[in-house]
Structure 1
Amino acid sequence: MNLYSEHYLSKKTERFVNKIWCLDNSFGESLIENKLVLPNGCFNLAIVSGNAIEVHTSKNKYLMNEGIYFCSQMTNKVLVNIEPKTKVTIIQFHAWTLAFFPKYDLSDFTDSILKIDFTELPFQIQIQNTIEDLLDTINQYFEALSDSNSDQNLVEKICELIKIHDEEISVAEIGKLLNLSQRLLQIKFKTATGLTIKNYIQILKFRKSVDQMINMDVSKMNLTEIALYNKYFDQSHFIKKFKDVTKTTPKMFNPDLYFLSQKR
């Protein structure tokens, strides 16, 4: 059985949920240690069954025993140790999804993890749900949410503009397109995501550069080409931003140490 796997949802649900991914050491007899996860601009809801998973963010160390955990936006790499007989199933929400639940203020919540009670969730899941049951539950809930919310909320509109412009758009330009003040945009976005709009754009650019690197022959890659393709000023700027997140250089980056998205 593969330690890492990805599972995809219906087209309607993918408006809110990027994917479900699993770290499965449930049949393992040894600790899986020092694996790394990179930020990607999404929130994660982690369902831990079995023993425990230990997660080190840039702010704290978390021992996540059996239960359900809400993981904020991450701005740096995260180190993961998975105990034997442990499985973690992770629902990955887009940056704008939580904005559909306006009672949550996440403006001061990044690089952090919070244990929650399953009764706090708007959909009913159990720790021992199979992946098939989980996919059915998530599809049913978010398809209905999509049907009842045909219009994009403000955060979704901001993210859509960022995507359309390939991460090359300023807050001022977004404000003009949406006919709203920069201050209002920043407050709404940070409340919903914990990130500034600029932080979010930087994370997306970083992940695009990593995805490009891992699909190339590392021995032949040209850092200048990668930097310019991903709209960094130059190679030095790219290396600096890369080190900010990974604490290593692009040349020293070892994808085998990371849980990285599979190419769909």
Structure 2
Amino acid sequence: MNYQTFKPHKDLESIVKFYWTLEVPFDSKNKKQKILPDGCIEMTFNFGDKIKRYTSKEDFILHPNAMVMGQRTKSYYILPIGDVDTFAICFYPLGFANFIQTLLKDLVDKETPISQLFEKTQAEELEQHMAHAKDTQERINIIETFLLKKLNLKNTINNIVKSTVDTLLKTNGKTPINVILKDNISKRRQIERYFRKQIGISPKQLSKAIRLQATLQLLFNKKSETLTDIAYESEYFDQSHFVKDFKELTGITPKDLLNNEHMALASLFYK
């Protein structure tokens, strides 16, 4: 597997977290790979063979070649049917709301073709230009030209939402929402509505996804000796709370994560 990341243009760095590429030659021995919630929205372009996304143990759908993957509230499995050659844009939680009018809650746990989110001709031209680009740098130039042209800062992000997301990112999701909002019930109802519109999921769901990312960094890079250490470092109430939240988002326990054949791709992302 060849996985690389690239920094965005300075005018996009508060919106785009990074670009990434993945190349994996086909191997009949390849196993399904688990994709985990990460609190981000991604736009991906597939230049290789089709990729299956499993909706049950046996049933699957095929990813569109150019799509947006909305916020994820649960894990799922994918499996390429041939060679993988992917370019993707990873947006910060509030990033993608700057480019479309669609409610972000309508994209949650779904792969949406870009032709359904942008003007069809523009989307088709973008997909063709990306496919025919000679290298990754040219693809970055193409997508940044597109994004900067589409950028609509008048799609004003609610200040309460922005400050809440900033706090969650800064504290790796450890700060409880009621603490951020100072137990203001009316403000909490308001922010729930704004979050579903501009991010797609609730503040609590985003907090769990961000916290999971920090935990996965510790697990995959073995920066803590025991699960108790990780639970403590991630500021969970206790180990059982840690395991419960982890399993809710990943479908497996922390103990089962490492050396799991379905986690090879995730391991690559976090190391």
Which range, TM-score by smaller chain? 0.7 to 0.9
Q: Return the match for 1:216 from 215, 222, 246.
A: 222
CA drift of 1:127 comes to 4.1
Q: Return the match for 1:134 from 133, 139, 152.
A: 139
Q: Return the match for 1:183 from 189, 206, 209.
A: 189
SS of 1:95's partner is coil
1:161 corresponding residue in structure 2: 167
Q: Return the match for 2:254 from 250, 253, 260.
A: 250
1:236 corresponding residue in structure 2: 240
| Mapping 1:1-264, distance limit 5 Å | 2-25=1-24, 28=26, 30=28, 32-56=30-54, 61-64=60-63, 67-101=65-99, 103-117=101-115, 119=121, 121=123, 124-125=126-127, 126-128=129-131, 129=133, 130-140=135-145, 142=147, 153-154=158-159, 155-175=161-181, 181-216=187-222, 221-254=225-258, 257-260=263-266, 261-263=269-271
* CA offsets 1:182-226 (integer angstroms, 9 cap, x no match): 222110111122210001001111111111111117xx8211111
Distance in 1, matches of 2:207 and 2:106, equals 18
Unaligned 5+ runs, structure 1: none
Distance in 1, matches of 2:14 and 2:91, equals 9
Task: Read off the aligned partner of 1:47 and give its amino acid letter.
Answer: F
SS of 2:142's partner is helix
Unaligned 5+ runs, structure 2: none
The alignment-based identity, stated in percent, is: 22
Q: Which has the higher helix share?
A: 2
Task: Read off the aligned partner of 1:194 and give its amino acid letter.
Answer: G
CA drift of 1:135 comes to 1.4
Q: What is the TM-score normalised by the length of structure 2? A: 0.79
Distance in 1, matches of 2:95 and 2:29, equals 34
Alignment: residue pair count = 258
Stretch deviating more after TM superposition (129-138 or 119-128): 119-128
SS of 2:192's partner is helix
Distance in 1, matches of 2:13 and 2:202, equals 23
- Aligned 8 A contact 1:32 1:84 in 2: no
Distance in 2, matches of 1:135 and 1:31, equals 32
Q: Which has the higher strand share?
A: 1
Q: Provide the alpha-carbon RMSD of the alignment.
A: 3.4
Change over 3 Å in CA distance of 1:36–1:247 after alignment to 2? same
Distance in 2, matches of 1:132 and 1:162, equals 32
CA drift of 1:102 comes to 5.7
